[in-house]
Structures are given as C-alpha cells and as structure tokens.
Chains A and B, each alone.
Chain A
C-alpha cells in the first residue's frame, strides 16, 4: 500500500461526494416531470416518442400495470436482442463476417444484458458484430439502467404518496430517464473517452506488421467502442466491447479514463440517495442511507487494497513490494498503468455497484482479495448498487431495519410516516430470500456434477468452488463480473440465464408490490416512539442489518471457498 494509493482513494471520495447533491436534484426534477435545462433539445423528442409509441403521458398506473409494462418492455427488447444475435451474419455492420450466435449463448447473452448483468460467456471480438454490439447489447445498457431507475422511483413515490392507487407511468418515467439522464451524459462521456484514446469506428480489424517480426501479423480488433463504453459504465452494466473489458487499453487507455469510469459507476446510484431525500422531504434520511453505503464501500476497499498489495508467499527473487517506480504486490491480471490501488478501487466499486466491468482479473486476485468482490455482491448489491437497483435494494433493507427497531421497542414500525405492516415485511423478506435461494441451490447443483459443473473449472481446490459460487452470485446479483476462468457449456448458459432473470425480475415484483401497498396508505404523524431514520444510529443499524443478513446466509460457503484457500496458501499448499 502506498500514500499515493490512499490519496487516489481520498480524491475519489471527495469528487463523488461533490456530485451527489447536483446530480440528485437534477434527477429528482427529471423524474418529477419538472422543467430542466435540456428541455429545449429533448422535450420535442420526448413528445415525438410518446406519439410514435402511442403513450398517453397523462395516464397513471397502479403497481400491477407498472410491473406489467416493465415486464412487457423487457421481454420484447430481450427478444429483439436474441433475434439480432441469431441473424447477425445476414445483417449490416459486420465487417469481420462473424457467424450467427449459437442458441444457448444467444439466450444467455440476451438474458444477461436485459437484466443489467452483462455476464459474458463469449469473446466479443470474435463473436459479436458491430450491429449486435450497438443495437443488440448496448441498447440494453440504456434500457436496463432506465428500468432500474424507474422501479426505484416507483418505490420512492410509494413512500411519498398517500391514499394513492397509482405509482406513476412506466413509459414516461423510462423515456425521461433515457432522454434527460442517460443519453446526454453518455454523449459527453463517450467523447471524453475518445479524447483519452478509446476507438470509435466501423472499420474492419486492422492488420499490423509488428516492429520486430513484421511477418507475424497482429490483427487488431476495432469498433464503435467509446459510445458503448460510456453507457456500459454509467448504467452499471459492465459488458465489455472486448474480452478483457476495462483492462483492455482500448476500453480504458489511461489512469484518467479509469478515474472517470469508476466515478461514473457510482454517480447515479449516489445521486439517487439525494433524490430519495428530496422526493420524500427528508434529506437527512438520504444522507443517512448514503453514509451506510459509504462505510461498507470504504471497508471493502481497505481490505481489497491491503490483500492485493501483499507479496505472494511462495514466489522468491522478485520485487513484490512497492517502490517509487513500481507498484509491486499481486500484478497477475492487472495493468501497469492502474497498478494495485486503482485496480483495487475499481474491483471494489464495480462489485459494490452491480456494474461488473473489470480492469483486472478477479480470478487471479489473492484469496482474500477475491473474497471482497464476492462479498460485495452477496450483500445484495446495495453498497451504492446498480443504477436504481441499488436504491430499491437498500430500501428493502431499510424496511427490515425499521421493522427490527420496531420489534425492539414493541411498537408497529413506521417509515417516513407510513406504518410498516405484515404485507410490507413479507414483500421485503421475499426480496431478501429469493436471492440466496437461487444462488446457493444452483451452485450446489453444479458443484455436485463432475461432468457439467466441475469440467468447466480453470482452477482446482477451494478456488474451483469459488469460481462456480462467484458465477451464480454475480448472475443473480446482476453484477456480471466473473472469476473468468470458468468456461461455458450448454448447462451453464441455460442455468445462468435463469439465474439472472430471477435475480432481476422476480426480485423487482415484490419491490413494486411494496410500492403499491405503501402508496395507498395514509400518513401517520411521527410520535415519540417513531424510530428516526436520519441519524447516525440509523446508519449503524442499517449497516448491521445488511452485514448480518449477508453473513448468516453466505458465510458457510465463503469459508469453504476463499477463506479456506487463503489458509491453505499461507501454509504452502497449491493446487
């Protein structure tokens, strides 16, 4: 660990915190349908879009209609992606003449991008045409981010509204999220990335004649990278244009591009906590939620940075500690320009949020270094979390926290003026339980099968278990990062497709049901027995609930994976 490494972390935190309020206010204005400074450009496009799609922008929806529209849109757009993948050989923007994508991989990938996961069981350079990347995959980087935002906003409206049957209009919320938040930010961001060196073209791959051996040709993958890279990060999607993702110098060429990438992962989820405070009229609550996220984020970074800066115990004769001109530490799977600190920071942030882009290979992290990203996802993707998904996820834990506080004092719990009753707690418990159920049962199934499960492993011993556990955790958490040694087969493609769809849509339904139920309640004035949700005590309770639920569920599996691997490695055991 170095002073400069910690300085980079400090700068990151300061810049992020400075964005929270302006971003939060702007998003609240967009989502409440108020005027923004982008109205002159986007308001006419917005109206045209409603007209072309037959949307009645004035109609309000109850939670069932809202959920049905969300599911309908997701299903149709997923089908479009599947069709483009299966037909790409016959479609334009395919200068490498790549063949159609196989059925099981096309299913897995369509599910992956629709669910904001962006798990990739393929090498993009040799699998996906430019058209598939743009109109099949990158559109979901926009769509799934917008869907995350609108579900979160529907829940916030549920908290805010009283005696209301409705929670907003799905099409209006989605359109406004796309046009006023995601698209303009992506345009500026993409051009910033090109300025740093990210390519943006439709050329066929370049044939280069290397300096030392000009006859040994190097074929260089190209494409419209920057336009996809921006929304990939901003929408916490994480699906790389290239196989190496943000470790690839074409996706992430400089330390500055790396900095804006990690900033763009957290910027919307962090801003949404302010939006929550603003829309519910309790700004202190927004900050208290943000504080809980920040504590968990800082703890994760500290552990990961510490683990990766350590020398390997069984390697001798190499400079493995930091000097002023080399970062030392565990550099397997990491890039020199990022070093240890920026790699550790990226890995923490990408798994705190459900982004899943990587700038270093998690599979080659030290056992404890790899434990941190896995744990981050297992905690439910609520440490800032995915765009929108992080906010509704943490609000589920808030309901749990308020419920537990209510049990302690023996009163009906209240949350921002709403009584939290049996139905609300049931819905939030459903959300909490679906997640480990799908992860642990699928992991168990594949671990027990030598032919379809274990044959895909790249590493043996406890690390092999971690590869499978990480895959299903990443899928259900809609993260998409990987212990990428795991290679696909038909069974993994199909099972992970369901893993991701369940982790997304089955978990969104209780959220919308909760939103609908809260919206129709009357507001009760706070009493002396009300547990305040804008205090440091509340932050501590919330962190405690997240940690205890996560630890109780996943600790046994973690102890057999990364923890056991660490102990064996320290005693000199290799596999």
Chain B
C-alpha cells in the first residue's frame, strides 16, 4: 500500500524541477525531434523510394507533377480537375479550401455560374457537384467517375476521337473503393490525361 510518508519533498525542490525540465526537454527533443524523423526518412527511402519523394511523375527528363496532386488543365483537349482555391489555383505551396460559407452569396454565385457554363457543354446531363466545388486542399487529384463521363463529349470532339473510346478510357481509370468499401470511386485526372495523350497518338 502507498504510505503517506514518502520522503518526496526534498528530492523535488524548485531548483531541481527547472534543471530536470531543461535536461529532459533537450534529451527528448534530440530523440523525438531529430533522431526519430531522420530514422524514418532513412527507412522510408529504402523501402518506398518513389512514395517518400512525393510520387512524382517524370516525362522527357522533367518532373511534370505528382500523381497525388492536381494541376491546372483548361483547354478542351484535356479532362479538367476540380476548381482550386489553393493560392491562385493549384498552388502546391499554399494548399487550402475556399472557406466560403454555404450562406455566402459569393459561393452560391460562383457555383451557379460554373454550372451554367458547364451546362452548355453537355446539356442533357446534370453537372456533377464535385466539378463545380473547390476541394479542401485545392489539390484534389481526383474527380468522380460522373465528372469524368460528363467531360467525354467535349474531349471526344476536341480530339476527333469517338465518344466510346474516351468513355472506355475513363472506365479503365476508375479506382474503386479501397478494400471494396472505403472512400468513394474516383478517377485520377493527371493519369487519365497522360493516357489520353497516348490514345490520340
């Protein structure tokens, strides 16, 4: 049983508490703030070199981007990602959302404006909501399969391809729910556009 007579007081004078605090902070900072992340970096580079470096995609000797990050596509020839509120758009040093409230007129006007523009491109289909809303990161690399299908007529026309072949390309790029249940089905826009270029050749 714990008794009430522990000779504790003398061992914890004010002086020793400050000294212990300083020593403890320094020692644990070296262990957890330096040794730990450096060790993880070393191991990560041994086991997963590509992922540890940011899943970059190279083409013709240049880095064209990261598989995990959205980049800007604006012409009719490519699938477009979701709009971005990161910096001036797709800024991978300034990630973030619009932070506009649902009750903010600027948000409703922006979304409704985008819908009205997109509706002319494919009038028979309602506009998928992810295609007119900014993501949380501004770097969402994915769109929903619906948002990819929605853009098929425009791209087929611009590239003089059949809608069927572009549609099939989208189908081949759908990433299903992980482990069959987690998350949502999605299409990686950069991967899709890279293969779209191959299809056109």
Enumerate chain A interface residues (CB-CB to B < 8 A).
4, 7-8, 11, 45, 49, 52-56, 59-62, 65, 68-69, 72-73, 75-77, 80, 123, 125-126, 134-136, 138-139, 142-143, 161-166, 171, 174, 178, 183, 186-187, 190-191, 194-203, 205-214, 216, 218-222, 224, 226-228, 242-244, 247-250, 253-256, 258-259, 312, 314-320, 323, 325-339, 342, 358-361, 363-367, 458-463, 483-485, 519-520, 565, 568-569, 573-575
Q: Which residues of A contact B4 (CB under 8 A)?
A: 163-165, 520
Flag whether B199 is at the interface (Cβ < 8 A).
Answer: no
Whether A138 lies near B136 (C-beta < 8 A) is: no
For residue A49, which residues in chain B have a CB less than 8 angstroms away from its CB?
Answer: 24, 27-28, 31
Contact between A59 and B8 (Cβ–Cβ < 8 Å)?
yes
- Per-position 1/0 for B130-168, Cβ under 8 A of A: 101111111111111111010000000000000000000
Residue in A203, A206, A214 with the greatest tally of chain B CB atoms within 10 Å = A206
Looking at the assembled complex, report how far the CB atom of B70 sits from the nearest CB atom of chain A, in whole angstroms. 8
**Which residues of chain A are within 8 angstroms of B135 by Cβ–Cβ distance?**
247, 331, 333-336
Whether B144 contacts A210 by the Cβ 8 Å rule is: no
Residue among B20, B65, B73, B141 with max Cβ neighbours from chain A (10 Å): B20
CB-CB under 8 A from B105, the residues of chain A are: 574-575
Tell me which of A166, A243, A336, A360 contacts B144 (CB under 8 A): A336
Smallest Cβ-Cβ distance to B183: which chain A residue: A255
User: Is the CB of B121 closer than 8 A to any CB of chain A?
Assistant: no
Q: Contacts of A253 on B, CB cut-off 8 Å?
A: 55, 68
Not counting A53-B24, A244-B86, A569-B103, a sample of 12 additional A-B residue pairs whose C-beta atoms are within 8 angstroms of each other reads A75-B21, A136-B33, A186-B36, A243-B95, A244-B138, A247-B137, A318-B128, A319-B129, A335-B135, A366-B102, A459-B101, A575-B105
Q: Is the CB of A335 within 8 A of B72?
A: no
The verdict on A333 contacting B108 (CB below 8 Å), with A318-B129, A325-B146, A326-B130 known, is: no
Which residues of the other chain, B, contact A198 by a CB distance below 8 angstroms?
Answer: 51
Q: Are A194's CB and B140's CB within 8 A?
A: no
Q: Which has the most chain B C-beta neighbours within 10 Å: A49, A208, A327, A330?
A: A208
Q: Which residue of A lies closest to B108 (CB)?
A: A314
Q: Are A326 and B146 in contact (CB under 8 A)?
A: yes
When distances are taken between beta carbons in the complex, the residues of chain B under 8 Å from A209 are 62-64
| Contact status A65-B8, CB under 8 Å | yes
Contacts of A171 in B (CB 8 A): 20, 24
B172 close to A (CB within 8 Å)? no
Q: Which A residues lie within 8 Å of B149 (CB)?
A: 325
Q: A53 to B68, Cβ gap below 8 A?
A: no
Task: Report the 6 A-B pairs with minimum CB-CB distance, sorted nearest first.
Answer: A255-B183, A247-B136, A135-B33, A339-B184, A485-B99, A361-B97
Q: Tell me the smallest distance from the CB of B139 to a CB of chain A, in Å.
A: 6
Nearest CB of chain A from residue B23's CB, rounded to whole Å: 4
Q: Known: A62-B8, A319-B146, A337-B183. Contact between A208 and B25, CB under 8 A?
A: no
**A61 close to B8 (CB less than 8 A):** yes
Q: Is the CB of A139 within 8 A of B32?
A: yes
Determine if A208 and B64 form an interchain contact, defined as CB atoms under 8 angstroms apart: yes
Contact residue range for chain B?
35 or more
**A55–B20 CB distance below 8 A:** yes
Q: Does B23 contact A54, Cβ atoms closer than 8 Å?
A: yes
Complex contact A199–B99 (CB within 8 A): no
The answer to whether A201 touches B52 (Cβ under 8 A) is: yes
Cα-based distance from A354 to B24 in the complex (angstroms): 26
- State whether A200 touches B52 (Cβ < 8 A): yes
Option from A337, A458, A565 in Cβ contact (under 8 Å) with B99: A458
CB-CB contacts of B85-118 with A at 8 A, as 1s and 0s? 0100011111111111111110110011001100
Q: How far is the CA of A186 from the CA of B37 in the complex (A)?
A: 10
A243, A334, A336 pick with most chain B CB within 10 angstroms: A336
Q: Is A216 touching B72 in the complex (CB atoms < 8 A)?
A: yes
Chain A residues with Cβ below 8 Å from B99 are 333, 361, 363-364, 458-459, 483-485
Interchain CB contact under 8 A, A318 and B93: no
What are 13 A-B residue pairs whose CB atoms fall within 8 Å in the complex?
A: A60-B8, A77-B29, A125-B93, A134-B37, A135-B34, A210-B72, A242-B137, A249-B69, A326-B144, A327-B130, A331-B129, A337-B186, A565-B103
Q: Which of B17, B51, B182 has its CB near the most chain A CB atoms (within 10 A)? A: B182
Instruction: Give the chain A neighbours of B108 by CB distance below 8 A.
Output: 312, 314-315, 574
Asked, given contacts A73-B25, A315-B111, whether A258 binds B102 with beta carbons under 8 Å apart, the answer is: no
Q: How far is the CB of B192 from chain A (nearest CB, A)?
A: 11
Question: Is B44 a contact partner of A11 (Cβ separation < 8 A)?
Answer: no
- Summarize B's interface: helix, strand, loop or mixed: mixed
Residue ID in chain B nearest A169 by CB atoms: B8
* B111–A259 CB distance below 8 A: no
In the docked arrangement, what's the CA distance between A55 and B111, Å? Answer: 61
**Is there contact, CB below 8 Å, between A332 and B98?**
yes
Chain A's closest residue to B193 (CB) is A211
B113 to chain A, nearest CB (A): 11
Q: How far is the CA of A416 from the CA of B54 in the complex (A)?
A: 52
Q: B12 at interface (Cβ–Cβ under 8 A)?
A: yes
Contacts of B53 in A (CB 8 A): 199, 201, 203, 222
**A227 contacts across to B, CB distance below 8 A:** 36-37, 40-41
Chain B residues whose CB sits within 8 angstroms of the CB of A186 once the complex forms:
36
| A317 in complex: contacting residue of B65, B104, B126, CB < 8 Å | B126
Task: Using known A-B contacts A194-B44, A198-B51, A220-B92, determine if residue A77 contacts B184 with beta carbons closer than 8 Å.
Answer: no
Quick check: A123 and B94 within 8 Å, CB to CB? yes
Contact of A316 with B136 at beta-carbon distance under 8 Å, contacts A187-B40, A332-B98 already known: no
**CB closest residue in chain B, given A74:** B21
From known contacts A255-B178, A335-B136, infer whether A326 and B102 are also in contact, taking CB-CB under 8 Å: no
Q: Is the CB of A318 within 8 A of B65?
A: no
User: Closest Cβ of chain A: how far from B8's Cβ, in Å?
Assistant: 5
Give the complex CA separation of A320 and B128 in angstroms. Answer: 7
Looking at the assembled complex, report how far the CB atom of A170 sits from the nearest CB atom of chain B, in whole angstroms. Answer: 9
With a CB–CB cut-off of 8 A, which chain B residues contact A205? 93
Which of A165, A242, A317 lies in contact with B116, CB distance below 8 A?
A: A317
Given contacts A76-B22, A247-B137, A484-B96, contact A463 B103 (CB under 8 A): yes
Contact residue among A72, A142, A328, A335 (Cβ-Cβ distance under 8 Å from B21): A72
Nearest CB in chain A: distance from B59 CB, A: 8
Q: Is B136's CB under 8 angstroms from A358's CB? A: yes
For B29, the chain A residues whose CB sits under 8 A away are 77, 80, 135, 139
